[in-house]
Amino acid sequence: MLSASSTPVIEATLPVVGEHLDTIAAEFYRTMIGENPELLNLFSRSAQATGEQRSALAGAVAAYAAHLIGAGPRGVAFEHVVERIAQRHCALGIRPEQYTMVGRYLLRAVGTVLGDAVTPEIGAAWDEVYWIFAARLIGREARIYAEAGVDGRDPWRTFTVAQRITEAHDTVSFVLVPADGGPAPDFRPGQYVTVAADLPGAGRQLRQYSLSQAATGGTLRITVRRVRGTGGAPDGVVSGFLHDHVRAGDEISISRPYGDLVLHPGTEPLLLISAGVGVTPMASILEHVARTQPTRAVTAVHADRSPDRHPLRADMAVNGSRLRSFRSLYWYEEHAGEPGTYPGRVDTDLIPVHPDAVVYLCGPAPFMRTVRAGLHLRGVPDERIRYEVFGSEQWRPVPAPAAA
């Protein structure tokens, strides 16, 4: 709970902070990483170049402030936000003491951008917001680490690449086995691991990749699409490194599995909707269901640029054939025409939606926004749509209403 003295201060200043959020975020990252360059190992350089990651943390704090004063979006449970961020932090090996440094630089950035407008009273109120948020995250992350049996100070384990498989154009799978000969960690279908890639001459970079097969006890599989920069954005350095340099027999460091886009218990029909490499958690979910609930009805929908770029299509077909009721629909922007495929982009009006279906959604953010809007028009409520975001999720406070 926000203190009674800080609540009116946050109510009065949240619109101004929200208006300057991008500038605050840029100043925060510029100073923190400029003075602590070792933190480059934690943050995606591609996401920093596009500005995506700079906005994520500042936006989350501002959105949490809105939540504390009751100004957040209706129907949004902030526990979901906390869980998603905490899972991502554990996958990165974030430690409690790092929150102190982050808070110092974030609040300094607010003061730099807003200048004399930030009185001691305002600074104290925003400091309170930050530490209420941080305390929730630290507590949840400690429980996640404990449940996983992981020391957050050393979260990595070495795996050997047992197989490298070409799945589609610009997409390969890596089948991984523990280098120490022990069992692979168990996980829930839909979760991801972090790959810690030591790049020649560029230090360590961390990236999350969804596990693309069900838990077998012996191996893990990640499926990686090479990220090619567009619109001035750089190519993905980690995906390029994995594609160009990692072969069978090589070793890589990865985290335990984490993530909250997981298959929940139930028997309701499943609707799995993906685009591009967003198919990876869907492949894991489908294989698990085929093994454990063969009578459960599943519909899989996928969008891609063309059939030759569609990864794991054969895997999905094989696992779907093990179900009593399975249907697949594909949309391709190029070279559509075979039975069961459509040209262009996904048309949610053509997707068969069972009234009780639970939807799992993964892909680029614009794709997911469009699909979610279409599903809402079909009567699917938000509580039955579960989704995963590539990169940094952008949390924003609700904009202040325009003056009359």
How do strand 251-254 and strand 157-168 relate by DSSP bridges? antiparallel
In the residue annotation, 145 being an active-site residue is answered as no
The pair of structure tokens assigned to 291 is 């093994």
Half-sphere exposure of 283 (CA within 13 A, CB side): 27
Q: How far apart are the C-alpha atoms of 275 and 388, rounded to whole Å?
A: 12
Q: CB burial class (10 A; 0-12, 13-18, 19+) of residue 299?
A: buried
In the residue annotation, 99 being an active-site residue is answered as yes
Dihedral sign from CA coordinates of 103, 106, 108, 114 = negative
Q: How far apart are the C-alpha atoms of 60 and 392, rounded to whole Å?
A: 10
Adjacency order of strands within the sheet including 326-332? 341-343, 326-332, 298-304, 270-275, 358-363, 385-389
Question: Could you report how far apart the first and last alpha carbons of the chain are, in Å?
Answer: 32
Residue for token digits 């940094």?
A: 392
Distance of CA 274 to the CA centre of its chain: 14
How do strand 171-178 and strand 192-199 relate by DSSP bridges? unpaired
What H or E segment, with its residue span, contains residue 199?
A: strand 192-199
**Which of these, 17, 115, 33, 101, lies nearest to 66 by C-alpha position?**
17
Phi-psi region of 355 (alpha: psi -120 to 50; beta: other; left: phi over 0): alpha
Catalytic residue among 99, 209, 360, 387: 99
- DSSP letter, residue 271: E
**Which of these, 10, 79, 52, 112, lies nearest to 400 by C-alpha position?**
10
Catalytic residue among 27, 52, 128, 141: 141
Q: How far apart are the C-alpha atoms of 42 and 95, rounded to whole Å?
A: 12
3-state secondary structure at position 293: coil
Q: Are 219 and 206 a contacting pair, CB within 8 Å?
A: no
Strand partners, 389: 363
The set of catalytic residues is: 99, 141
